[in-house]
Amino acid sequence: MPNSQVFPDIQISLPQWLQAFPFRHDRIYPHLQERMRLVIELSRLNVKHQTGGPFAAAVFDANTHQLIAPGVNLVVPSHASLAHAEMVAITIAQQHRQHFYLGTNAQQSFELVSSTEPCAMCMAALAWSGIQQLICGARDADARAIGFDEGHKVQPWQDSLRQQGIGVKCDICRDEAVAVLQYYARKNGLIYNGRSEPFQGSNC
Amino acid sequence: MPNSQVFPDIQISLPQWLQAFPFRHDRIYPHLQERMRLVIELSRLNVKHQTGGPFAAAVFDANTHQLIAPGVNLVVPSHASLAHAEMVAITIAQQHRQHFYLGTNAQQSFELVSSTEPCAMCMAALAWSGIQQLICGARDADARAIGFDEGHKVQPWQDSLRQQGIGVKCDICRDEAVAVLQYYARKNGLIYNGRSEPFQGSNC
C-alpha cells in the first residue's frame, strides 16, 4: 500500500483450487442440470478446501450456456460480509466484461445459477447487475435448517424479481444442493449470521 | 494477473481525492450533524471529481465517533454494481479490522452514516455487517426523484432493521443531502439503474 493511501483497498480473489478447476475446454454446459451440478460441485469443494461457506454460484451466457464467471462464498477468508457466492460471481462477470451492467448488449443475456436460493442482499443485488434469469438449487428453508439466516426478503420474492424483469427457476437438483449444506453442518462449519449468534462453530 | 489465474480478482479502490481528503487529525466527529455533513461533503466531491454517483457513506465508532472507513459510490468506475457507497464503507471497515463482522467486540459498536437512505441491497447487507446503527440524510423518495431506483424493500424497512437489532435515525441534514442529488441531476450524471433504462445520461 503506497504511503499516500490511508484506507485499504477491497480485494477479493477466488481460491486457487477454483482458478485451477478443470472446467470444460469451451466452458459450455448445455443442460440446466449440468450447470447446476457444476455449481453444486464448487460449493462442495469450497467446504472441502475450507475456503468459505457451503455456497456457490455462477454466471452463464443464457444463450450459449458458456460459463462467464464462477463464485463461491468467501465471507470468512476475505473478511467481507458481502462476499456471498452470488455477489462474487456477478462482480467477476462484470470485471470480465469491464462494465457494471451485464445487460448492455441486447443480443446477450445472462443467467445466475446459485446452489442455494439467494439471501435478501443477493436477491436485491440481482436487479442492479443485469442478470435476467435466476436458477436456484436448495431453498431458503434448507439454509435456515442448518442455521444460516437468509435475511428479510420481500415476499413473494419470485414476484418481486419477475416485476424487475428477472425470471426464476427453483428446486433444480435440490437434494444434491442440500447434501452439501448437510456436509458443512456435519463438519461443524462456521455459521456466520448477522445479529443472531454470529460466532458459533469451530473456526472462530 | 499470473498465468495460472483464469478469472479476474475483484478490486475496488477509493478515489485518490478521498485518500487525500483532509480528515480531522484524530478523525473524531463528535456531533451527529458533523458526521453527516462530512459524508454529504464526500458525496458532493464524488460528483465534482466525476468518480461515481452522488452517494457517500461512512462507518464510525458509535462510542468514540471516530471515522473508521469512508465510502463513495464507485459503480461506474469500478465496473461493479455492488459498489454502492454503503457497501464500500462497510467492506473497507471490515478490511481495516480484518474481520467480516464489525460487532465482534462487545465494548465497541459501529454506526453507518449514509447520505441517502440505502437501497434494498445495502439495507439487507447491514444485517450481515455487524453495523448497529444507521443514520440517513436524504430519503428514498429524494433519490427516486432524480431517477435512481432504490429496489424493492421490505416495508416498513425501519421495523425490519430494528427487528435485526439495528437502530435507525432519518432526515439528518436532509436538505443538504438532497442538494447534492440535485447537483448531480443538473450535471446530467449517469442514472445507472437495473431494468429501467439503465443507460440514460451523458457518461455512457
Write down the pLDDT at residue A198. Answer: 38
Residue B204 has pLDDT above 60, yes or no: no
Q: What is the pLDDT of residues A49-105, one digit of tens each?
A: 999 999 999 999 999 999 999 999 999 999 999 999 999 999 999 999 999 999 888
C-alpha dist (Å) from residue A61 to A19, A130, A188: 19, 12, 35
Q: Which residue of B has its CA nearest to A14?
A: B9
- From CA A185, how far away is CA A183, in angstroms rounded? 5
CATH of domain A25-186: 3.40.140.10
- Touching check for B24 and chain A: CB below 8 Å? no
Q: Are B120 and A6 inside 8 Å of each other by CB?
A: no
Write down the pLDDT at residue B195. Answer: 52
- From CA B69, how far away is CA B92, in angstroms rounded? 6
Q: What is the pLDDT of residues A166-201, one digit of tens each?
A: 999 999 999 999 999 999 999 987 777 665 433 332
Total-model pTM: 0.94
- From CA B85, how far away is CA B70, in angstroms rounded? 8
Query: Average pLDDT, whole number, for chain B?
Result: 92
C-alpha dist (Å) from residue A173 to A22, A86, A124, A143: 21, 18, 24, 15
Task: Please list every residue in chain A whose beta carbon sits closer than 8 Å to the beta carbon of residue B19.
Answer: 4-7
Q: Which of A184-188, B164-168, B177-181, B189-193 has the lowest mean pLDDT?
A: B189-193
Q: Which residue of A has its CA nearest to B100?
A: A79
- Touching check for A154 and chain B: CB below 8 Å? yes
CATH of domain B27-186: 3.40.140.10
- Alpha carbon A7 to chain centroid distance? 27
Q: Are A121 and B124 inside 8 Å of each other by CB?
A: yes
- Touching check for A175 and chain B: CB below 8 Å? no
Q: What is the pLDDT of residues A8-38, one digit of tens each?
A: 999 999 999 999 999 999 999 999 999 999 9
Write down the pLDDT at residue B191. Answer: 78
Q: Are A80 and B96 inside 8 Å of each other by CB?
A: no
Residue B2 has pLDDT above 90, yes or no: no
Write down the pLDDT at residue A199. Answer: 33
Write down the pLDDT at residue B203. Answer: 25
Write down the pLDDT at residue A203. Answer: 25
Q: What is the pLDDT of residues A110-161, one digit of tens each?
A: 999 999 999 999 999 999 999 999 999 999 999 999 999 999 999 999 999 9
Q: What is the pLDDT of residues B80-123, one digit of tens each?
A: 999 999 999 999 999 999 999 998 888 899 999 999 999 999 99
Chain A 57-116, CB below 8 Å of chain B: which residues?
69-70, 75-76, 78-83, 87-88, 90-92, 94-101, 103-104
Contact between residue A152 and residue A160 where contact means Cβ atoms under 8 Å apart: no
Task: Please list every residue in chain A whose beta carbon sits closer than 8 Å to the beta carbon of residue B97.
Answer: 79
Q: Are B193 and A96 inside 8 Å of each other by CB?
A: no
Chain B 25-54, CB below 8 Å of chain A: which residues?
none
- From CA B51, how far away is CA B95, in angstroms rounded? 22
Write down the pLDDT at residue A194. Answer: 60
Q: Are A10 and B8 inside 8 Å of each other by CB?
A: no
